Amino acid sequence: MKKKIGVVLSGCGVYDGAEIHESVITLLAIDRAGAEAVCMAPNLDQMHVVNHLTGEEVQGEKRNVLIEAARIARGDIKDISAVTADDVDALIFPGGFGAAKNLCNMAVKGEDAEVHPEVMRLVKEFKAKQKPQAAVCIAPAMFAKIYEGEAERPTLTIGNDKDWSQKIENLGSKHQECAVQDIVMDKANKIVTTPAYMLGQSISEVAEGIEKTVKELVAMA
């Protein structure tokens, strides 16, 4: 029986949702590892909509995170509120600013951010059941917020970005610098992280880090 790997998407598009390259590489790596991807996203409006051609915010437009994420999942996606830790064997969060704008609001509030309650619930369920999790690109910063106040704080990476690594440290987790092609394994907490486009300049080097992440994640599942 195939292992089921939950993939939590935060929309569709690097500036206001899930990073598309990272998401697709993740899905491909899961399939190549002989596992089954189970896509999910929260059902809420995005923080805002960004024109990806100009990088400017689109005034007056609203988009739904779940509906947008369904583009990447080819329509095969679940509302995260309907998923429990018993439904999948492991969990991975691709990056994109949606992870810091829609799954939580760290992009605006920094260390004082709130995490979407269903995202918080699912990650904590995985922690309680000691099931493996992974986070890519900027998503590890959200893990630092979720684990704030926990006895076991994870070791995470977002590459070498000084601002975001300091946020991780301020929340009580440990940040470890890491090359884009590499991963950081926190074996005690069963969390794997990789910098991806927080550091990467090409899709091939980003893919190398994500593929290593997925390989370890599936092996632990």
pLDDT of residue 111: 96
Percent of the chain residues topping a pLDDT of 90: 98
50 DSSP β-pair partners: 57
Average pLDDT, integer, range 111-138: 98
The yes or no reply on domain 4-136+202-220 and CATH 3.40.50.880 is yes
Mean pLDDT of 88-108: 97
> How do the domains of the chain map onto residue ranges?
4-136+202-220
Q: Among the options 12, 39, 137, 178, which is catalytic?
A: 137
Angle in degrees, CA 151, 157, 161, rounded to 5? 125
Q: How far is CA 156 from the centre of its chain?
A: 12
Check pLDDT > 90 for residue 149. no
For the cut 90, the answer to whether the pLDDT of residue 197 exceeds it is yes
Q: Is the pTM of this model over 0.85?
A: yes
Give mean pLDDT, residues 118-144: 98
Radius of gyration of the chain (CA): 16
Instruction: Provide the pLDDT confidence category of residue 187 given band limits of 50, 70 and 90.
Output: very high
User: Average pLDDT, stretch 108-131?
Assistant: 97
Convert the pLDDT of each residue in 19-36 to its tens digit: 999 999 999 999 999 999
Catalytic (active site) residue 39 = no
Q: Dihedral of CA 103/81/215/206: which sign?
A: negative
